[in-house]
Amino acid sequence: MDGYYRYKLAVKHGLKFEVCVPALVAGCRKGHLVTRNHGDESVESLNEKKNLPDASRAATAAADNAVEPPTELLALLETSLDRVLRALGLKMGTIWLHSYRMTRGLPQEVVDIEKVAAYTGLSIPHVQAVPDWQKIEETHPELAPLAGVMERMGIRASIAVFLQQEGRTGGLVVAAPQPRAWAGTEIALVETVAHLLEMAIKTLGAQEKRRESVQRYRYLFDNIGSGVAVYEAVDDGEDFIFKDFNRAAELIEGVRKEELLGCRVTEVFPGFGESGLLEVFRRVWRTGKPEHYPAARYRDICREGWREYYVYKLPSGEIVAVYNDVTERKQMEEEIRRVNRALKVLSKCNEALVRVAEKVTLLKEICRLLVEEGGYRLAWVGFAEQDAAQTVRPVAQSGFEEGYLEMVTITLDDSETGHGPTSTAIRTGQPAVVRNILTDPAYAPWRGEATRRGYASSIALPLTDGGETFGALNIYASEPNAFAPHEIELLCKLANNLAFGIKALRTLNALRESEAKYRNLVEQASDGIFLADVQGRLVDVNPSGCALIGYTRNEVLKLSLQDLIPPEDLAAQPVHFDDIRDGKTILIKRRLRCKDGSVVPVEISAKVLDNGLLQGIVRDVTEHKRMEEEIGRQVARAEALLRIASRLNAQLEMDVSVK
């Protein structure tokens, strides 16, 4: 039968193709099979069309609304089956679609798909009309085994259709309790309904595929790791309202989808325009060209973070934004940048510690490097004063200061000005971080001046020497939360190195002062002072020493101790350095050979200094020697006179005794 004839036949009995097919398929998602047994109700003949237009209109209305509700589907299937049974004047029948089965009035086996096929002996697809099951052996001997079954069910005649498309099944069975010679139009009517079922099966398959596709999309949409939001343009593309929002987006933004749907994006996210994303949405909506929006910072009073977007337009005109929260990645990148910055500054400052030999110059250089190399807004060093006010005195600074250090007062007492980061660092010996100057209550005394100069966060690092904190290195940044943990660790190392450098410079200055005093004493000493290394090479001599032996200082530094001792004296009394290496001071009498070849008697006080050099304090004893010799001569003269006097006395005594 051609399609047109089937169409006309279906319309004749209120079964519209365009109504039945979509309605059947839409409703059978819920899976119902309807079996009708009219019992004793009156049956209309094929030519009676009472209420058929109303049924058609009901089917149309059901089709218009049959998207999901199963009740409309049941009504439509019942109506379709009723029309066929009434048109054929029958009381028993069943209809099914796909795997949904119900039965009333016929045994359950009739709607068991496999058994129906067995009962009817149908091949697929096939229409089987049996006029009398008691004469089945004459007409269809292959179905003879089913005659007893049909008799028990009260079926004498039947028409059965069994359809299968892409694994989906459907069918229709109408039965009569008495023999019936089926007319061609009756079989055609059943074929028409079967054709509707066939179309419904195909459409159902397509819809199931679409549903599976939608389910896959929904599963991906809800479970993808990226946030996905769907928007509809309003106000001619000037603003957008939320149409969908997946789970990842809910987690990223901390909001439920139900709270967003239908809301304007500019109302929910007031910072959308400032971040530049609203303009991207507008541009994509106007041009239809997708855009990748690199990581941008979003901030409003409720949320803050970094987002990376890919925005495109659907054929429906809706805008889709696929985005990721890259806040952790950006924070890590920023921390790495800050750590690298701190490492660079630390390296430069270590170079300065080695290079710079004056304390104030060193402090200024460290502050300059922190600002110019580190990118900080201000750096300054303050020392704790031992005055009654317990103030902290700035000694060096660099950066955007603009009179800040002159206008603020920082103390170490228990007043309001003694509880800021600088005071805390000096008092506790630990770094003190102010992550946000605008909100930190401890920064109240200096907040106004600080914010006017663009300081948003700061850190104070203690400068400690031998367990005593004598000052602090203060660093200011133009953004809040500027000091990451690893950066703080490196800046603490910088402060420790700076404190060590200050201590070293103090020690060096003290040594220089001590050396100057020592040098002055040496230079002014009347005795000659010689310094020699462990091999006896002369390394220093004072002016008195040069004058003693007649050499210039440069000439002396080319000599050794052995060069100053006459060879005969050196042979008679060699120089033994081991005699004085035990730290004792020994007194030695020697003769030194002068540049002009003369010799001078000296007395040497020798000892080994802490630095390992041999020090000899040499005193010219020529005059002392002369005086000793003169005294010896006077003593000898006196002794000679005494001897003469003694002889005279003896002579006088002899003369007296003679007389």
* Mean pLDDT score of the chain: 77
pLDDT of residue 340: 83
Own/partner pairs for 501-510, CB < 8 Å, 24+ apart? 501/353, 501/362, 502/359, 502/362, 502/363, 502/463, 502/465, 502/470, 503/465, 503/466, 505/357, 505/358, 505/359, 505/362, 506/359, 508/357, 509/359
Q: In the chain, where does the domain assigned CATH 3.30.450.20 lie?
A: 224-325, 525-620
- HSE-up of residue 519 (Cα within 13 Å, Cβ side): 7
Report the C-alpha gap between 528 and 506 in whole angstroms: 32
Q: What is the pLDDT of residues 159-198, one digit of tens each?
A: 888 766 656 566 778 888 999 999 888 888 888 777 776 7
| pLDDT (mean) for 535-547 | 88
Q: What is the pLDDT of residues 241-269, one digit of tens each?
A: 999 999 999 998 889 999 999 999 999 99
pLDDT category at 125 given cuts 50, 70, 90 is: low
Please tell me whether the overall predicted TM-score, pTM, comes out greater than 0.85 for this model. Answer: no
pLDDT category at 505 given cuts 50, 70, 90 is: confident
Residues in contact with 112: Cβ distance below 8 Å, sequence separation at least 6, in sequence order? 101
Report the range of poorest mean pLDDT among 130-139, 225-234, 319-328. Answer: 130-139
Give the residue among 532, 88, 533, 340 at the shortest CA–CA distance from 541: 532
Q: In the chain, where does the domain assigned CATH 3.30.450.40 lie?
A: 3-210, 337-509
CATH code for 224-325?
Answer: 3.30.450.20
3-210 belongs to which homologous superfamily?
GAF domain (3.30.450.40)
Give the domain 337-509 fold.
Beta-Lactamase (3.30.450)
Written as six digits, the tokens of 88 are 């054929």
Does domain 525-620 fall under CATH 3.40.50.300? My reply is: no
pLDDT of residue 23: 34
Question: What is the DSSP-derived secondary structure letter of residue 365?
Answer: H
pLDDT of residue 261: 92
Report the C-alpha gap between 376 and 367 in whole angstroms: 10
Res 60 pLDDT > 50: no
Is residue 548 within 8 Å of 528, Cβ to Cβ? Answer: yes
Task: Report how far Cα 378 is from the mean position of its chain's Cα atoms.
Answer: 27
